[in-house]
Amino acid sequence: MKKLLSPCLLLVMAAMLILSCSEEQDFDQFDDLSVTPTVASSIFYLESDEEFINSVSAVNTFYAQTFNFDAFNEQFVAERLLEGTISYELENTTSKRLNITIEFLDEGGNILDVESLSIDPAPAQTETLEVAYGPGGKSLDILTNTSSFRVTGNNLGDATSISSEPEPKIIVRSAAEFLFRLK
């Protein structure tokens, strides 16, 4: 009886496998796949207290620095950039009217773009400015060709006034979000 049951069971199992519901696999789905991650990064941070700003008043430039920016030095990355947004957060508790200039520089030191940020003296609200690149914004070529930023801070006020705020200073934060198409 056991010998008869085994072949019958095998035959029934084979018939079930053949007749079972299964869908044909579609391995062409990869062609329809669209991967677009967003990458966020900080770019630079500037902080200067009012005492320092007053001490370098002869030229009115209290800050000048060039930052390396290698985000798009690989052609693979630059070609896949869809859009980007650079955000600037400005906080001024000094008694000074200030101007922060950000120059986007290519490898040769040529200026690709300039952002000039006017900052009112205290009591001013923390201000956020967002600059879009890509569709509806500035050209993506600015970002993909930028290899460094030159940041300059200028005192547009006097060199003697002192804010009534505790620990008066200027803070500029910069961050970016980039959207890429990987596939």
C-alpha separations of 150 from 68, 100, 113 in Å: 9, 10, 11
Q: State the virtual CA torsion across 77, 82, 83, 84 in degrees, nearest 10.
A: -20
- The letter for the amino acid at 159 is A
Predicted local distance difference test score (pLDDT) of residue 26: 63
Cα(25)–Cα(23) distance, integer angstroms = 6
Q: Which ranges of the chain have pLDDT less than 50?
A: 1
What are the tens digits of pLDDT across the range 15-27? 766 666 666 666 6
Tokens 């300059």 correspond to 152
Q: Which amino acid is at 106?
A: D
Question: What pLDDT score was predicted for residue 151?
Answer: 94
Q: Please say whether the beta carbons of 114 and 71 come within 8 A.
A: no
Write down all domains in the chain, each with its CATH number in brackets.
Answer: 41-180 (2.60.120)
Res 55: pLDDT: 84
Model pLDDT, residue 58: 62
Q: What secondary structure, in 3-state letters, does the chain show?
A: CHHHHHHHHHHHHHHHHHHCCCCCCCCCHHHHCCCCCEEEEEEEEEEEEHHHHHHCCCCCEEEEEEEECCCCCCHHHHHCEEEEEEEEEEEECCCCCEEEEEEEECCCCCEEEEEEEEECCCCCCCEEEEEEECCCCECHHHHHHCCEEEEEEEECCCCCCCCCCCCCEEEEEEEEEEEECCC
Opening angle at CA 72, ends 174 and 114, nearest 5: 45
Structure tokens at 30: 């990869």
Question: Which tokens belong to 84?
Answer: 């980007």
pLDDT, position 77:
75
